[in-house]
Each structure stands twice: as structure tokens, then as C-alpha cells.
């Protein structure tokens, strides 16, 4: 019998898709099959048959029966939907009473939110612009969403009562400002490096030359001293040693000057390194990191 009812429902749906009314005999057979299903307690099968008949002809009898069967099955939201259709097509007092009984077991939920948000109740999205819906009595999850921002709240709607929930989306996070890195420091001049290096090189060459002259004066003084006094030279003051002492004094003077020149070259070299390291182009810092 169930397979027969399903076949009849499919047949009626196919005929409805062609926008043709069902044949009288087929319609009567569907109604008889639905009534037998009700008598046998197969309410779901009966509602399926009446649903097929509603899809085929959109008549008040089918809408009323789908609504009443849904009510008996405890699917109150579906029952109210079809009972409202039933009242519109056939406004009878009995239908109005049945609709009132169903609504007394349901709750009425009103959602207050911005007009351009998406509203969902228990995961079911409401139609655009709709902010009121009938729900089963009990606890419900209401959600709103727009461009990735969400807000939600749980609300308990008792049977036969109206509840209102107001939801607001969290404020948009401001876009963080783009932080641009500070401009690099101006490149320092390179002429001090060249000048310092040149000075260090000149001082080193001068020191070398002065050291050579000092060494020549030392050798000359020693040679002259031993020419005058082969035994021990001019270790003690003797006649003729004044010239040797003058040459020895020149040796010490040139050697001191050479040492000063070398010290100056070292100072200039250190100054070159310090300036190169702290020059505001950061080159020396980068090299130090690579090291």
C-alpha cells in the first residue's frame, strides 16, 4: 500500500509540473489511499499523499489535511504554515480554531537587528527582510551575520507567548595604519676616509724615513768614535768627541721624530676605522653582522 501511495504521489507531482489538473479518478484514489493510511495510523504516509496532491492542485482540502496531519505528528511549525494556507483558501471557523490551537502550542519570536544582516534561527536562515517567525516552544539560538561579523544569543520562547531579541554586530576593527619604515640616514661623505688614510700613509712613510736617517746617524757616530779612540770610543769625554756627541744627538732626535710619526700614523688609522664604523650609511654595521 505504501508503494502504491508513493507511486500515486509521484504521478500527481509529475502532472502538476505540467500545470495540468489531476484526473478525477487518480485524485479520488489518492484521497482514498490517504484516508486508509490515517485509519491504519500511518500519518506520515497520509501526509505524503496529501502533500503530493497539494503540489499538484494547490487546493484548500490538501492544505488543510497537510496542516492537520502535521499537527497530529507534532510538527507544529509545518502545521501552522499549511493551516494558514488553508484559512486563506477556505476561511472556515473550524480551520480558524485549529490554527489557534496550533499557535497556542508555538512561540512567536521577533528579531530586532539591522536591516542588511542575515538572520538565522537554529541554523535556519530567514527570508530577506523577515524578522518574525513561529518556533516550537523552548530554547532557540538566534544569529545575525554580515561581512564576516557575527552576533548570537539564546532565547527561551514559551508556548503561546511572544519573545523579542535584539542583536547588534560588533564594531568593525579599524584598519591599522601602514607603518612605513623611517628613511635611511643620509650617506656620510667619504673624503674624510681618504684624507685620514692618506695622512696615516704619509706619517708612516715619514716615520720610516726618519728612522732610516736616525740609524744612519747612529752608525756614523759609532764609526767616528772608534776612529778617534779604537779602545772604547767616546764612552768618556775626550778631546774630539764633541762631533760624535752632536751626531749621537741627531740620532736620538730623528728616532724620536720617527716614533712620533708612527704614533701619528696609528692614530690616523684608528680614526679612519672609527669614522668608517659610525658613518651614517650603516655599511659598517652590516659588515659587523656578517662577521
Average pLDDT over residues 122-130: 85
The mean predicted confidence, pLDDT, of the chain is: 79
Q: Which three cell numbers stand for residue 228?
A: 778617534
pLDDT at 18: 35
Q: For residue 232, what are the contacts with CB-CB under 8 A and spacing of at least 6?
A: none
pLDDT at 64: 92
Question: Which range is least confidently modeled, 68-72, 74-78, 97-101, 270-274?
Answer: 270-274
Q: Which three cell numbers stand for residue 130?
A: 523577515
Q: Which three cell numbers stand for residue 109?
A: 519570536
pLDDT at 277: 76
Q: For residue 198, what are the contacts with CB-CB under 8 A and spacing of at least 6?
A: none
Q: In terms of pTM, does the model score above 0.85?
A: no
Are 55 and 13 within 8 A, CB to CB?
Answer: yes
Question: Which range is least confidently modeled, 11-25, 134-148, 153-167?
Answer: 11-25
Interval 8-59: pLDDT, tens = 443 344 344 333 444 556 888 988 998 999 999 999 999 999 999 999 989 9
Closest of 48, 3, 9, 41 to residue 27, by C-alpha:
9
Interval 176-194: pLDDT, tens = 777 887 776 677 777 777 7
pLDDT at 7: 39
Average pLDDT over residues 120-139: 87
CA distances 231 to 32, 52, 228, 248, Å, are 157, 145, 9, 19
CA distances 148 to 33, 117, 126, 144, 261, Å, are 50, 11, 18, 10, 76
pLDDT at 101: 92
Average pLDDT over residues 148-158: 90
pLDDT at 280: 63
Confidence of residue 224 (pLDDT cuts 50, 70, 90): confident
Radius of gyration over every alpha carbon of the chain, rounded to an integer in angstroms = 55
Residue matched to cell numbers 685620514:
196
Amino acid at each position: 500500500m505504501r508503494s502504491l501511495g508513493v507511486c500515486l504521489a509521484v504521478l500527481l507531482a509529475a502532472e502538476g509540473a505540467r500545470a495540468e489538473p489531476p484526473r478525477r479518478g487518480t485524485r479520488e484514489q489518492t484521497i482514498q489511499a490517504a484516508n486508509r493510511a490515517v485509519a491504519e495510523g500511518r500519518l506520515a504516509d497520509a501526509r505524503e499523499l496529501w502533500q503530493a496532491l497539494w503540489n499538484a492542485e494547490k487546493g484548500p482540502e490538501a492544505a488543510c489535511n497537510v496542516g492537520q496531519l502535521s499537527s497530529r505528528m507534532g510538527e507544529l511549525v509545518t502545521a501552522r504554515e499549511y493551516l494558514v494556507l488553508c484559512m486563506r483558501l477556505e476561511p472556515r471557523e473550524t480551520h480558524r480554531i485549529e490554527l489557534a490551537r496550533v499557535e497556542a502550542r508555538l512561540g512567536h519570536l521577533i528579531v530586532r537587528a539591522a536591516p542588511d544582516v542575515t538572520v538565522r534561527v537554529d541554523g535556519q536562515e530567514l527570508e530577506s527582510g523577515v524578522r518574525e517567525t513561529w518556533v516550537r516552544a523552548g530554547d532557540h539560538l538566534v544569529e545575525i551575520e554580515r561581512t564576516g561579523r557575527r552576533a548570537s544569543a539564546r532565547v527561551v520562547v514559551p508556548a503561546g507567548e511572544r519573545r523579542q531579541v535584539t542583536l547588534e554586530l560588533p564594531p568593525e576593527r579599524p584598519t591599522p595604519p601602514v607603518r612605513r619604515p623611517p628613511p635611511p640616514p643620509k650617506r656620510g661623505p667619504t673624503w674624510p676616509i681618504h684624507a685620514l688614510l692618506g695622512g696615516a700613509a704619509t706619517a708612516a712613510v715619514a716615520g720610516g724615513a726618519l728612522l732610516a736617517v736616525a740609524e744612519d746617524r747612529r752608525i756614523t757616530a759609532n764609526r767616528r768614535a772608534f776612529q778617534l779612540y779604537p779602545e772604547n770610543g767616546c764612552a768618556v769625554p775626550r778631546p774630539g768627541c764633541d762631533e760624535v756627541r752632536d751626531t749621537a744627538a741627531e740620532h736620538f732626535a730623528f728616532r724620536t721624530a720617527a716614533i712620533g710619526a708612527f704614533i701619528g700614523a696609528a692614530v690616523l688609522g684608528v680614526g679612519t676605522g672609527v669614522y668608517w664604523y659610525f658613518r651614517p650609511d650603516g655599511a659598517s654595521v652590516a659588515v659587523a653582522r656578517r662577521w
